[in-house]
Amino acid sequence: MQLEKNQDIELYIEDMTTDGEGVGKLDGFPLFVKDTVIGDKAIVKVIKLKKNYGYGRLMSIIEPSKDRVAPKCPIARQCGGCQIQELAYNKQLEFKANMVKNNIERIGGITEYEMEPIIGMEEPFYYRNKAQFPVGTDKNGNIVIGFYAGRTHCIIENDVCYIGSKRNADIVAAVKKYMLDNNVSAYNEADNKGLVRHILIREGINTEQLMVCLIINGKKLPNEEAFVKALQATGKIDSIMLNYNTQNTNVILGEEVRLLYGTPYIEDYIGDIKYRISPLSFFQVNPKQTYKLYSKALEYADLTGNEVVWDLYCGIGTISLFMAPHVKKVYGVEIVPPAIKDAKENAKLNNITNAEFFVGASEEVLPAYYNKHKDEYADVIVVDPPRKGCDEKLLDTIVKMAPKKVVYVSCDSATMARDIKYLSENGYKLEKVCPVDQFPHTCHVESVAVMHQQDLMM
């Protein structure tokens, strides 16, 4: 059958991509269709054709998959934040575990290792401790607060996110009422005019502390006292802040913040370790699953208390401080200076004295340190890189330092598999991998893997 653009066809969805798009084939020709799940039979409009594949738009479901469920969120399809909310949660876990397994075996070329069951959530909703609501106007000039539609900067009005805090809706409503009552303008990206750009809400999941930060295109907020009172009327709030961002940019936060009420931070825990969180701090958005992820990394490290550990791409030191009570010494490396400042402050907050932190790119700091201290030994090296994975220069230095174990924490199993292949070709053997569902209803999955030095296994 010869496909043509704008043609409507009947398609059975037999697979899904790592982006959550359904995949169906017509006479062997694959079509990628957003908003479909494995097992759907659908009417699809062909919207783009390439030489070897094409894209389709879901028009209607003829026969739903047995694993299709009604999304909890009424704007899930338009929003794009939850790409697979229509897929039953147990099948989401299966999909993510298979993604990790396939990447390790296809990209990493490794088949002999232990794949542990994926760690999911008992309640896969209301788990995010951070929300960022863009503020703008509709075509009639009315204030709109919600979320960007998928792959656009068009705001879909919405104050309820079913993977965010239950308090978000009341806070968003309070901000909107304050803006209307005080004639406060919303930001317009097109001309870089208007005042209120975003609402940032951060919550301590374990402490129940709450922060609200208003990002404005200026230095002054009209009637600040009324703004604070409007927020306080929604319930207990521990921190109310302003962030100034006057740049014509897609970056949400500016560098300067000002405290309006309470403390300039909130606190939360991962395990027994307490962290202070400011508007500019990086902190894992799902602390409950992060605890499970780090606990698995700690299990894989198999520490006795006498080890020297390097934590590369350490961020604010979450893994470093999590492991510190179980080791002799831990070194953390991170390229972002404010993150290292937070790491040092969090170490003091928890009376941790055996953690030392370095500012710089891991692929620069570790080789430089190794070249100056070749007699020093690393028992365990932990890496938690960004999505692009580890730099090959860093992997080469890890091989030269020859730690007994490498624990790899990953937000992208494809680049993890690539790096595991490099290490496996240079003296290390993959022992175990465990996926952790850090972001239910999205396509993202975290993983932790452990590799052992082969010489020690002989």
- pLDDT score for 456: 54
Do 445 and 415 contact (CB within 8 A), yes or no? Answer: no
Cβ(110)–Cβ(424) below 8 Å: yes
Contacts of residue 301, defined as CB under 8 A and 6 or more positions apart, other chains included, come to 307, 309, 323, 326, 380, 382, 405, 407, 450
Burial degree of 428 (CB within 10 A; 0-12, 13-18, 19+) = buried
Distance CA(157)–CA(139), nearest Å, equals 13
| Residues with pLDDT less than 50, the chain | 458
User: What totals of helices (H) and strands (E) does the chain contain, helices first?
Assistant: 10, 22
Q: Return the structure tokens found at 327.
A: 């080791």
Sign for the CA dihedral angle at 100, 389, 312, 249 comes to: negative
Question: Which pLDDT belongs to residue 42?
Answer: 98
Report the alpha-carbon distance of residue 38 to residue 103 in Å, rounded: 19
Residue 458 is predicted with a pLDDT of 44
**pLDDT confidence of residue 457:** 52
pLDDT of residue 151: 78
At 145, list the tokens. 């607060």
The sign of the CA dihedral 124, 126, 127, 130 is: positive
Residue 73 is a catalytic residue: no
Where do we find the tokens 């075509």?
A: 139
Q: Model-level pTM greater than 0.85?
A: yes
Helix axes 413-424, 89-106, angle to 10 degrees: 30
Pairing between β-strand 29-33 and β-strand 54-63 as defined by DSSP bridges: parallel
Active-site residue among 73, 213, 390, 411? 411
**pLDDT recorded at residue 387:** 95
Give the model confidence (pLDDT) of 162-179 as tens digits: 999 999 999 999 999 999
Query: For residue 135, what pLDDT is reported?
Result: 97
